[in-house]
Amino acid sequence: MNIKGIKLPLYVVATLLFGIKTYLVYRFLFTLELENTMQEFILFVNPFVSAFLIFAISVWIKRPERQMKYLRYTILLGTLIIYANLVFYRSFSDFITIPQLMQGGNMGDLGSSILSLIKIYDILLFVDVVVIWYLSKKHQERVVTNYPRGGKVCALALSLALMVGNFFLAEMERPQLFTRAFDREYLVKYIGLFNYHVYDIVLHSKVKSQHVFADGSELPAIEDYVDSVIATGDKSELFGVAEGKNVILISAESLQSFVINNTVNGQEITPFLNSLVDDEDTYYFENFYHQTEQGKTSDSEFLTENSLYPLPRGAVFYTHSQNEYKGLPEILGNEGYYSTVFHANNDSFYNRDQMYPSLGYDYFYDVEAYEVNDNNSIGWGLKDKPFFEQSMKYLNTLEEPFYAKFITLTNHFPFELDEMDKSIDRYDSNSNTLNNYFPTVRYMDESIEEFFQLLKDSGVYEDSIIIIMGDHYGISSNHNKAMSMYLEKEEITPYDHVQLQRVPLFIHIPGHGKGEVKSTIAGQIDMKPTILSLLGIEHKNDIYFGNDMFAEDRKEYIALRNGDFITKDYVYTNDSCYDFSSGDIIEEESATKACMALNETIKKELNYSDDIIYGDLFRFVNFDDK
């Protein structure tokens, strides 16, 4: 590149091209909320700051061919990092972490899920890569390759000064930014994607060291907190109502509460589950929230089995499968229960083959236990109807009482379904994801209805309690425009987003006759103590963060993994407090103070749970002696 004999420094060209591209991705492909002009300015500046720091290193490389090679491969690597995060973001509205990369073995099982996230226009993200490769390969004589020492020092000093300036503006606009490691959107928005990844690496190294240096001295403070805030000691009226009964837990993939008692195109979405809402043997929790993070289904399992929070980064099933736990299957095993999982997927997916023994499961019926072919599978594998049907031959052989968990597959992104299996029409919006969601939810509803009948026919039904729980959201915030259209709202507000994290919970006790709709604010953290209470099993010598959902004296909030929380009065999100009933931002000073004060308790609780996992603190506890 030569204009009237003037050579241009290629690292500056690379900085401009890469910076512009990165900003466009931030602004138009990621949905980063910008509240003021300063945030817009920081978002615009940080891509160039990061790019300049990275590409300016090339001026210190003496040999021209190596200098050009550095620029070529650096801009390619940077683009691949952006693209990997973009594809990940399209599915999860989140950014990749180091622990998430450890789950790379899952990629081979994703199949069409990943393909549906790749767009034809994505190729434009590599235009700057082509330009730099072309100039550095074909026109090396037209770019600067020899820099004076003063120019090198100036480039380094300027890049560092810009970085410091970026961090100063970020901290000024968002105080204590680096203490909010669980909020990856904030970090990307204020310091950029690449600095976020560097920070994530540092954070990952730090938490890895926690296991090495933990000595159990952290436990007394955690136990005091649990005893004073969580553990009430009071038994609910339903304590022991299902004593000695089997427990059948259905983990309903991607099932959100907004479909319950709702329609699409005038057609009922979940007729069977709707019937359970009014069933006299069923308790339906209408304000039950998933609390998962990057581990999604495995996080919901972790919450259910341990009454501990999942980690803010990655999946506990991968990062800490060898820890000591006091899992629900282990406790039930001590009470004579046989525990097993039914899931028609590879046993290594989400590292379940390693994690389940740590939780105390006796056996895992994975994909090898099922007959899977092209006719009875789609998307992620075996369809739900044949899954339940084929599972019965194993369920009928289990020694009672048993705890059996069934994890469904069909209602999984990208929500594929054969035409012959569709009972209702797709929705019509700009989001294929939301459009396809309704038929697959209906299919899952029908499969659960058939499963209930199979249980009745086998004679297992009367001696069991059946729990149906949505594991996590199915429709991410990337589809808010279509969701607002479906819900007939002008927009999806931060309050609405939190309320969309509600997932259905049905606790069906055959012959009970006292079921009702419960408005209790509850979450997956409450599953373990609730199940144990229903079975009449005391667990006073345990450390946990949930409550029996039927207890009168229970903590008054549910914390989401990102630090948001819900009470019967407030919804806290995006540093604002909303009225739970109306969704309006609370203006009253006393109410705002009460809401914000609870925020400190939430942080403490999440940190205590993290300390237990990162430090593997249960290895220092003899629960039998407590």
- The residues annotated as belonging to the active site are 297
Start-to-end CA span in the chain (Å) = 75
**Rounded-to-integer distance, Cα 551 and Cα 237, Å:** 8
What the block records as the tokens of 526 is 């409450």
H-helix or E-strand containing 148?
A: none
H-helix or E-strand containing 283?
A: strand 282-285
Runs of H (alpha helix) within 116-148 = 127-138
Which residue type sits at 61?
A: I
105-144 exposure pattern, b = at least 16 Cβ within 10 A, e = fewer: ebeeebeebeebbeeeeeeebbebbeebbebbeeeeeebb
**CA 3 vs CA 6, 7, 142, 171: distances in Å:** 5, 7, 9, 41
3-state secondary structure of 344: coil
Please give the radius of gyration of the chain, using alpha carbons only, rounded to the nearest integer: 27
**Rounded-to-integer distance, Cα 144 and Cα 167, Å:** 30
* Three-state secondary structure readout of 411-437: CCCCCCCCHHHCCCCCCCCCCHHHHHH
Contact (Cβ atoms closer than 8 angstroms) between residue 59 and residue 71: no
* Helix, strand and coil percent figures for the chain, each rounded to 5: 55, 10, 35
DSSP 498-527: HHTTB--EEEE-TT-----EE---EEGGGH
